[in-house]
Amino acid sequence: MKKISFLFAAMMFAAIGSGIAPVTMGIAHADEAADKAKQQTVRAEMGKPLTEIQTLLDQKQFPAALEKINALSVFEKQTPYEIFVVARMRAIVASGTSNTELLASAFEVMVNSDFLKDNEKLRLIEGMAGTYFNEKKYDLAINWGKRYLEKDSSSPQVHNMVARANYLKGDFANAIQELKVILAEDQKAKRIPTEENLRLLASSYQQSKDNAGYTSVLEMMVEYHPTREYWGDLLYRTEHKAGFSDRLRLDLYRLMLVTNNMDDPGQYVEMTELALLAGLPTEAKTAVDAGYAANLLGTGKDAAKHKQLRDRVYKQAAEDIKTLDAGETAAKNAKTGVGLVNIGYNYVINGQSEKGIGLIEQGIAKGGLKSAEEAKLHLGMAYLKAGNRDKATEIFNSLQGTDGAADIAKLWLKVRPMEEKSADKAPAAPAAK
């Protein structure tokens, strides 16, 4: 919409007609846009000048038409319909000459008249708001947009325009308020929020220095429009959240791996070592294999060290499978449930989900754990690996505390199944910062 004429000529012609064919001397016939209960009258002495003006409009001689329109001010005590007709003519001239202020004054008269239907008035109000927005007159765009929303608060297009106008004029608080209305309507209609709206909301929160608000939008982004970049930003903020326990670093790496956010050889090495320390050589093997597949391990000056690590991991993984049953017996005889939780998760990642889940649950019931919330986190992950998302959701939602376990649990619920993730090959642009 580069010019006003492109926007309003088509709109006005569709809504109220481009001419004044119904305007004649005496009593005129009601056109489609008029209130049928009202008589539309034009006095005889105005008939000739109105006809002349109509001819000039048809010939697109807008300056001459406006001159004659202004001359009509000599006619005193104009009827409501005469006032409406003159305003409509001014609007057509304004549309043809890109005169925004003239257009606004004409629309003001037309909107306040009885000769347009409510939906036609709304189109004019929306069009005026859009014109001021395109001209970067954001205060006026917001005023007309709010007039529209007072009559119809359900329009996502107008809410969008008002939100963007507020953002562009630096009023981030009102931009956030408008965007929240849009998101609430999306939720009510069970509609996925657009990525554009979420990016704008995220940027509004950032401009407002509201880190909690920004993070909440990132969570929606990875749920509805997941990209590597959005996940990376969210995981970074999760890791650096106050109170996050270093004990959960392996859990953080698990999310980084599944969301394709491992981009440094040291990350693969550290995840591998942490998995070995946790007694999970099979998971260590998964990490080291992923590093090699990404061409980040096995190359460069540390290639020999990477090979030594891989050889050690492969050896321990092979031995671990042979000793799983012995580890189970030892865990059951222990005084606390720590061993049962650990061996249970080991069974899960070795493809024995049902048995592993049972052992984790026994370990939680036995007690004596360093962190019951961490154990429940791994139980939820076990159910997720077993394909029981409903049970995983139930467990994840029960987590509490501020050490990071509850945050990681919430993020696992937003990770899409791998068969869906495989379709998202091309990374999207990063969130607004």
Q: Are 244 and 215 in contact (CB under 8 A)?
A: no
pLDDT of 418:
36
Q: pTM of the prediction? A: 0.78
Cβ atoms of 137 and 156 closer than 8 Å:
no
Alpha-carbon Rg for the chain, nearest whole angstrom, is 34
pLDDT digits (tens, 9 = 90+) for 282-321: 999 999 999 999 999 999 999 999 999 999 999 999 999 9
For 65, the token pair is 């038409």
pLDDT tens digits in sequence order for the chain, 433 residues long: 334 433 444 444 444 444 433 333 232 333 444 444 345 777 777 778 888 888 898 888 999 989 988 888 777 778 888 888 888 898 889 888 888 888 888 888 888 888 888 988 999 899 889 888 988 999 999 999 999 999 998 888 899 999 999 999 999 999 999 999 999 999 999 999 999 999 999 999 999 999 999 999 999 999 999 999 999 999 999 999 999 999 999 999 999 999 999 999 999 999 999 999 999 999 999 999 999 999 999 999 999 999 999 999 999 999 999 998 888 999 999 999 999 999 999 999 999 999 999 999 999 999 999 999 999 999 999 999 999 999 999 999 999 999 999 999 999 999 975 334 433 433 333 343 3
Tell me the helix, strand and coil percentages in the chain, rounded to 5: 70, 0, 30
> So what's the pLDDT on residue 83?
85
Residue type, 107: F
Of the candidates 359, 381, 372, the residue with the CA atom closest to the CA atom of residue 399: 372
Task: State the pLDDT at residue 39.
Answer: 59
All CATH 1.25.40 domain ranges in the chain, comma separated: 248-421
Residue 311 has a pLDDT of: 97
* CATH code for the structural domain at 248-421: 1.25.40
Coil, strand, or helix at residue 23? Answer: coil
Alpha helical stretches, state H, 156-194: 156-168, 172-188
CA-wise closest residue to 200 among 143, 160, 156, 144 = 160
CA 433 to mean position of chain CA atoms: 15
| Cβ-proximal residues to 36 (8 Å cutoff; 6+ apart), any chain | 30
Q: What pLDDT score does 69 carry? A: 86
